[in-house]
Chains A and B, each alone.
Chain A
Amino acid sequence: MSKVLSKEFLQRWAPLIVLFSLCIIVSIINPNFLSVRNFARLATSSAAPLMLAIGVTFIIIMGSIDLSMEGVMAFCGASLAVVMLQFNSFVEWGFLAIPVAIVFGVAIGFVNGLIHVKLKIPSFLVSLGIGFSCIGLTMVMTGGVRVSASDKAFRLLLTERFFGFPLMVYVAFAALLLAYFIQKKTALGRNLYAIGGGEELAHASGVKVERVRIIAFALAGAFYALGAMFAVAQIGSVASNLGTGFMFVSITSVVVGGTALMGGIGGVWQTLVGVLIVAVISNGMVLVGLPTYIQEGVLGVLVILAVALATNRKAIQLVK
């Protein structure tokens, strides 16, 4: 029993320990790390990945995976910018484009989940296909050119600062709380865990598995749209490569945070820790003077380590 406890203890707290050790190491090498400016930079750059990672956390808790985020993000970002331009031309309220983008995100996620559930196709391939299609759609919509998103109210997300942190950090935090609320307080959230823990048992107990799955994908889509919004606010414009790299970063964050790919374990707070670990690593690489482009390699190693540590290999018979 004590052995089990210690392993569980380790799995539970390891990510947090890793995060603090990383912070200490980086700040020893470069004391600039411990400045409000740097923390604000860290938080700002984490806002978008956090949203994506939260979205995919819901999916991973079910034991599925969603690889569509890059495409969905590009599409939502582009529609945000395009609709904003349209709105701006007759009213001043370009930020009204935000709900439109979220609706698009939900719609894509819904289609994703629907195909996955109804045609019984593994989620990683459906979402891969959907993601690619979305990038194509984005290209068509933008005509391959960069669209700027310069609505004033919208830009406040980045420019308006409270206590040194831009507004978007607070919005992201609010979204995190919302996600936690869904995870903890709603039947939907609990059913995600039930499905991840034992899908057939959950089904036998009367959980409407198919419906929950579809809603979860739609929910993830909404968070991808939020992620797109933050990314656009940060950059100020959109091209079809808006999402590039985010898939890897978000999945890595979720896994590194301690949410098991097998499903049923973890949650959005773990994801926050995971996102921060990844952010500190890349922030640290800059401060330490390492090239950022090896980040993907470092993350790859990290994923393997995290999953290898979290997987109970004795319990698995077949992996494909």
Chain B
Amino acid sequence: MTKDKILQAPDMNVSAEERAAGGRKSISKEQVTKYLPYITLFSLVALISLYDPAFLKLENLLQTAQDISTLFIMALGMTFVIYIAGIDLSSQSVASMTTVIVALLLPSFGIGAALAAVIIGAVFGMASGLVHTRFKIASFIATLAVGGIAYATGQVVSGQRSTYMPADLREQSMGWMVGNTAGIPHEIFVALALLLIALFIERRTVFGRSLKAVGSGELAAVASGLKVTKIKVMTFALSGAFAAMAGVMLATRLSGGSPTMADQFLLPAIVAVLVGGTPLTGGVGGVLNTLIGALIVAVIRTSMTYLEVPAEAQQIFFGVVLIAAIALTIDRSKVKVVK
């Protein structure tokens, strides 16, 4: 506190004016960053369809969308956390854990297994949030630690083995999730339904508004009487729930669970959020941006397959894209000291 004071120096009026002036100048840049995700998506699509026009075939597009649905759902939850300027590194562990849980519970609870999995995911998210806010531990460490616990839970519950869903039970309780209607895979419907719910939360609810306030001006939110701690915990819980939904869908698609099933998900999910235009500094962007971001990730993946880049080597690319996306979107005026 005292340290901050010297560093910020007096003359608040001066710096305020300067900042206001700076703000006005960057409007044009703001607009560029706003449309950058769309431009990126369309140029990528254009490029790849030049390379292979077959990409634009409806069934191919649907396939691409279907493949990205699971990741997209996880990224939706992640969006809320990044929107309040936090991060959730536990998502993939939570998702992996829920694949195991849902596969194990399916025989006894049917569709209830999915519900239970989502609740457990939310509980883990809530734990992250509580650790983060109560102990004042940076969110990436809190979620890393809780992620470790989730990972171990998955290992213990599964006994380190893959678990399988009995085919008939899977069909009966979860079949609706992976079917086809009029040639459109149901995963897309599920993902879109969740997107609508997330969009509703973001745009129309008091909670969504609170997220925006916390993300773009946490201290002002506190000083307006918002219960910021509670909001943060709920956000992490929401992220956990979405990660769990991703896990349920993954388990259903692959007819079983394994404690490492979602291991490759974390990075692309973060990339999807950031590339979509929700910067790490929070307050800007949203779930619709994440849709664009996820589509960009999908197109990149598909094009890599076209270019015959092996799956694991794609990681190189995602690492680079991650850094580039942060570099382009981060609001540097918000971070004084970068650690």
Partner of A303, one of B144, B156, B282, B338: B144
* Nearest CB of chain B from residue A34's CB, rounded to whole Å: 28
Known pairs A123-B339, A251-B144, A319-B132; A311 contacts B151 (CB<8 A): no
Q: Does A300 touch B at the CB level, under 8 Å? A: yes
Does B135 lie within 8 Å of A308, measured CB to CB?
A: yes
Q: Does B21 touch A at the CB level, under 8 Å? A: no
Q: How large is the interface on A (under 10, 10 to 19, 20 to 34, 35 or more residues)?
A: 35 or more
* Nearest CB of chain A from residue B87's CB, rounded to whole Å: 8
Does B136 lie within 8 Å of A313, measured CB to CB?
A: yes
Does A300 lie within 8 Å of B330, measured CB to CB?
A: no
Interface string of A212-253 (1 = CB under 8 A from B): 000000000000000000000000000010000000100100
Q: Does A8 touch B at the CB level, under 8 Å? A: no
Does A119 lie within 8 Å of B138, measured CB to CB?
A: no
* Nearest CB of chain B from residue A128's CB, rounded to whole Å: 7
Q: Find chain A residues with CB under 8 A from B86 CB.
A: 320
Q: Which of A109-161 contact B (CB under 8 A)?
A: 115-117, 119-126, 128-137, 139-140, 144
Does B323 lie within 8 Å of A304, measured CB to CB?
A: no
Q: Which of B128-163 contact A (CB under 8 A)?
A: 131-133, 135-142, 144-149, 151-153, 155-156, 160
Most buried by A among B136, B147, B322, B327: B136
Partner of A136, one of B219, B317, B339: B317
Q: Does A5 touch B at the CB level, under 8 Å? A: no
Does B323 lie within 8 Å of A130, measured CB to CB?
A: yes
Q: Does B337 touch A at the CB level, under 8 Å? A: yes
Q: Find chain B residues with CB under 8 A from A303 CB.
A: 141, 144-145, 148
Q: Does B218 touch A at the CB level, under 8 Å? A: yes
In the complex, what residue of chain B is closest to A120 when comparing beta carbons? Answer: B338
Q: Does B267 touch A at the CB level, under 8 Å? A: yes
Q: Find chain A residues with CB under 8 A from B316 CB.
A: 132-133, 136-137, 140
Q: Does B269 touch A at the CB level, under 8 Å? A: no
Known pairs A139-B312, A300-B148, A313-B135; A129 contacts B323 (CB<8 A): yes
Q: Does B60 touch A at the CB level, under 8 Å? A: no
Does A294 lie within 8 Å of B323, measured CB to CB?
A: no
| CA of A320 to CA of B314, assembled, Å | 30
Does B330 lie within 8 Å of A120, measured CB to CB?
A: yes
* Nearest CB of chain B from residue A164's CB, rounded to whole Å: 33
Please report whether the interface of chain B is mostly helix, strand, loop or mixed according to DSSP.
helix
* Nearest CB of chain B from residue A181's CB, rounded to whole Å: 26
Q: Does B10 touch A at the CB level, under 8 Å? A: no
Count the A-B residue pairs with Cβ separation under 8 angstroms: how many?
Answer: 179
Does A139 lie within 8 Å of B315, measured CB to CB?
A: yes
Does A130 lie within 8 Å of B319, measured CB to CB?
A: yes
Q: How large is the interface on B (under 10, 10 to 19, 20 to 34, 35 or more residues)?
A: 35 or more
Q: Does A198 touch B at the CB level, under 8 Å? A: yes
| CA of A116 to CA of B326, assembled, Å | 11
Does B137 lie within 8 Å of A121, measured CB to CB?
A: no
| CA of A164 to CA of B235, assembled, Å | 53
Known pairs A115-B323, A319-B132; A304 contacts B315 (CB<8 A): no
Known pairs A200-B7, A296-B152; A248 contacts B144 (CB<8 A): yes
Q: Find chain B residues with CB under 8 A from A139 CB.
A: 310, 312-313, 315
| CA of A126 to CA of B146, assembled, Å | 22
Q: Does B1 touch A at the CB level, under 8 Å? A: yes
| 13 sample A-B contacts, Cβ–Cβ < 8 Å, listed by A number | A119-B327, A125-B87, A126-B323, A128-B319, A132-B267, A261-B141, A263-B339, A291-B156, A297-B151, A301-B149, A303-B144, A311-B137, A317-B1
Top-9 shortest CB links A-B:
A297-B152, A133-B319, A300-B148, A136-B316, A136-B315, A139-B312, A132-B319, A308-B135, A129-B322
Known A-B contacts: A132-B315, A296-B152, A298-B152. Give 4 more (CB < 8 A): A133-B316, A137-B316, A297-B151, A304-B145
* B residues at A contact (CB < 8 Å): 1, 3, 7, 85-87, 131-133, 135-142, 144-149, 151-153, 155-156, 160, 218-219, 267, 270, 280, 282, 310, 312-320, 322-323, 326-327, 330, 332, 335-339
* A residues at B contact (CB < 8 Å): 62-65, 71, 115-117, 119-126, 128-137, 139-140, 144, 198-201, 240, 248, 251, 255, 261, 263, 291, 293-301, 303-304, 307-308, 311, 313, 315-320
